[in-house]
Copies of this chain bind each other. A is one copy, B any other.
């Protein structure tokens, strides 16, 4: 197996890991709540909608690392897994995540896509 193929297998294993996705879900809801709180100046808590995550995962090109037949939930999970893994590996800090989520120029899905691209670029190094 070539180096590139090995790397692609590793990424696929991370993106489809259920534990990383569950951890990433908790991480993202916290970072998203913090971004909302800092943006509005009022304490807020909210779950990130699966729809925005799935859209972001597609925009960031994560789809090609997944099996052919997957539903929207699985696509959203793969973005959560990528970010959960990256945070646990110290490839990404909460401050970086919050700063990117606070960009008002873009939609939430665009912000999450940029976050995924950043995480992926550090993973591919």
CB of A125 within 8 Å of the partner chain: no
Chain B residues with CB under 8 A of A25:
45
Chain B residues with CB under 8 A of A26:
26, 29-30, 32-34, 45-46
Interface residues on A, range: 20 to 34
Compute how far the CA of A92 lies from the CA of B78 in the bound complex, rounded to whole angstroms: 32
Chain B residues with CB under 8 A of A19:
37, 42-45
CB of A24 within 8 Å of the partner chain: yes
A88 touches which one: B24, B29, B43 (CB < 8 A)?
B43
Main secondary structure of the interface of A (DSSP, over half): helix
CB of A39 within 8 Å of the partner chain: no
Compute how far the CA of A20 lies from the CA of B85 in the bound complex, rounded to whole angstroms: 28
Asked if residues A43 and B27 are in contact (CB atoms below 8 Å), the reply is: no
Chain B residues with CB under 8 A of A85:
43
CB of A108 within 8 Å of the partner chain: no
A33 touches which one: B23, B34, B43, B44 (CB < 8 A)?
B23
- List CB contacts (< 8 Å) of A98-118 with chain B: none
Binding site for B on A (CB under 8 A): 17, 19-27, 29-30, 32-34, 37, 42-46, 84-85, 88
